[in-house]
Amino acid sequence: MNNKNIWSTLVVAVLTIFIFVACKKDKGNYNYTAINTITVTTDSLNVDASKVITNDSISVKQFDSLTVNVLLSQTQASGNLSYQWMIIQTAQNISNPAQYIVGTTQQLKTRINLSPNLYRLVLKVTDNTTGVSFYKFYSLNVDTSPWGGEGWVVLQDQPSQGGCDISLIATKDGTSGTGTVYPNLYSLGNFGKKLPTGTSKVNVLNYSASLRIQKVSFFYPNGGVQVRSTDFADSSYTSGWFFAEPTSINLQANGINQGFQYEYLINNNQLHYRAVNATSIKSPPILFNAPVLGSWTLAPFVLNAGLSDYFLTLYDQSNKCFLQYNAQTGALVNVTTDIPNGHFVAYSKGTAPLDPVTGSGFDMNRIGKNLFYAENSQPQSATPATFSCVFRNDASDSTWLYQFAVTTANANTNTTGRYFLSTAKVPGINAATLFAFPTFLTLPGKFYYVNSNTINTCTIGTLATSTSAVGYTFPAGTVVKAMKVFKSGYTTAPSTESKVLVVATDETASGQGNKVYFLSITSTGDINTNPLAVYTGFDKIVDIAFKKGLGL
């Protein structure tokens, strides 16, 4: 038999055996176990709210203890479970902490010895019957010293000590945190040096949470200083902020767009900005460009659109009109030519600056009033978000509120949003210098303003029907120095977001010193007259600002 025939015979034999085996009935004994699906959630009723911020976000101080309780939901009850708590890196280019596994029980109890940074805390729950594991992930923010973390920065004037200094109240909303007041932190971080006399503003802005970068700065006559957010030591001065430093420094506003791509600065009523990147900070120095010049004299307010990172809504005080600017293209929006009172297309409701039908619509090109205050009043439950602007006439004897939607290119078609605030119904409004807008109310909503020694709550009504009532009264002679609604800047808003009013007062006229109040706001926007907390022992307060924990 030749080789070819032998090969053919072998192939036929192998195929015959294969067919026989394939057709044989499988009489194996198999037991199938259904998978038990496990869902893990945080036990929010048994947590330290100062540390467990949300269902998946934790913030602790270095060397602090941490307890996390979780709840399990199973599709099939099983007591044969094992647990493993791990702390791992947040990016592939970062090595895991040396202390990798920190717990092996359902409840985590551990001491955080990690260096300050953003980590990921992972709970692995394994059903040992099936060997299938389920996971719960937390963002774990490890902060530095207590005064380098989260809290309210209180800027104070200390003339007897040759300048100004700051304290930090270690709470975000008066209901959580230690509430400890840490005094004189600027001089502590700068070898006894004080901030210059006349320092008028503390400014905090947050870059993308993943970058863990925060800018804290102070504005003072003819200059400003940026400090490290963790210990308030000097970091840079205005002389190093610009490609070409302006001949005159008068810092008025500094913030970052909601997409974290561009940082803006108003100096001497002129706009400067710089690209900082949203997810990876550029290599320093990152300098502000030359001012954006035009026919305008800008009010010290920038309204930026959450719909796009590039678009800035500005107000021209000299021509009393709005304009929009695209930071990416370096050009005006809508009408690209610089035409005073013509930066938007012609008003859709006719030649008059007001809607002749509703009386509440308005022409963005012809406001004709002075912008006194502006705020991104963005209701959490409303789309699109809204800007709120307080205007007065030249004589400052009449006040209006204007509201309009956030857009990347305003079509100038407003039919509503203009409200006249009559002193007969809104007492003290023409003399008010401090305003605050909550973000959770249905528009037009409510806002707060200071009237002598009271905080009034204004309920916004159509045309001239707005009314106000006293929301909180301080002792006679009290001067309210600062007032802000708590807006955290967190990637996930806490339950008290925009529902706490923080007020700084000078009550020396009644012998009660200088204080900071935390007042809760009800679901209807009214002020609760029982303070959540009151902090005392400050020098003359100039300004306040909230500084969130890094990475939140």
The per-residue pLDDT for 111 is: 87
Structure tokens at 358: 């509703």
Indicate the residue type of 253: A
DSSP E strands, 425-538:
435-436, 446-451, 454-459, 467-473, 479-485, 500-506, 514-520, 533-538
Give yes or no for a contact between 484 and 502, defined as CB atoms under 8 angstroms apart: yes
Q: Mean pLDDT over all residues of the chain? A: 89
Residue ending a domain, choose from 103, 128, 143? 143
Helix (H) and strand (E) counts in the chain:
2, 37
Structure tokens at 91: 């990016």
**pLDDT of 139 above 60:** yes
**pLDDT of 32 above 90:** no
Pick the range with the lowest mean pLDDT from 13-17, 138-142, 392-396, 526-530.
13-17
Quick check: is 350 in a domain? yes
- Burial call 416-430: b when 16+ CB within 10 Å, e when fewer: bbbbbbbeebbbebb
In angstroms, the Cα distances linking 65 to 117, 123, 155, 452 are 16, 17, 31, 45
Quick check: is 409 in a domain? yes
pLDDT in tens, 444-484: 999 999 999 999 999 999 999 999 999 999 999 999 999 99
What residues pair up with 527 in beta bridges, in sequence order?
521
Query: ω before 285 within 30° of 0 (cis)?
Result: yes
Quick check: is 406 in a domain? yes
* 143-169 mean pLDDT: 93
Q: Name the strands in the sheet holding 540-547, side by side, starting at the edge strand that comes first in the sequence.
A: 181-182, 163-169, 151-158, 540-547
Those residues whose C-beta lies under 8 Å from the C-beta of residue 92, and which sit 6 or more positions away, are: none
What size, in residues, is the chain? 552
C-alpha distance across the termini of the chain, in Å = 82
Pick the range with the lowest mean pLDDT from 116-120, 248-252, 434-438, 526-530.
116-120
Residue ending a domain, choose from 143, 174, 194? 143
pLDDT in tens, 256-284: 887 678 899 999 999 999 988 766 667 77
Quick check: is 496 in a domain? no
The per-residue pLDDT for 178 is: 77
Closest CA to 469 of 525, 523, 517, 400: 525
Pick the range with the lowest mean pLDDT from 135-139, 279-283, 379-383, 405-409.
379-383
pLDDT in tens, 330-339: 999 999 999 9
| Strand 454-459 relative to strand 500-506, pairing | unpaired
Quick check: is 395 in a domain? yes
Structure tokens at 436: 């605050």
Looking up residue 44, the CATH number of its domain turns out to be 2.60.40.10
Provide Rg for the chain, Cα atoms: 30
Structure tokens at 101: 């596994």
Range of the domain at 121: 38-143
* 237-259 mean pLDDT: 92
Cα-Cα-Cα-Cα torsion 334, 340, 345, 347, nearest 10 degrees, comes to 140
**Domains held by the chain: number:** 2
The per-residue pLDDT for 54 is: 87
Number of Cβ within a 10 Å radius of residue 75: 11
Indicate the residue type of 46: N
**pLDDT of 156 above 80:** yes
Structure tokens at 296: 């305008």
Pick the range with the lowest mean pLDDT from 164-178, 274-288, 382-396.
274-288
Helix, strand, coil in percent for the chain, rounding step 5: 10, 40, 50
**pLDDT of 536 above 50:** yes
Quick check: is 360 in a domain? yes
Residue ending a domain, choose from 458, 473, 488? 473
Q: What's the pLDDT band for 305 if we cut at 50, 70, 90?
A: low
Percentage of the chain surpassing pLDDT 70? 89
Q: What's the pLDDT band for 42 if we cut at 50, 70, 90?
A: very high
Quick check: is 216 in a domain? no
**pTM of the predicted model as reported, rounded to 2 decimal places:** 0.77
Quick check: is 207 in a domain? no
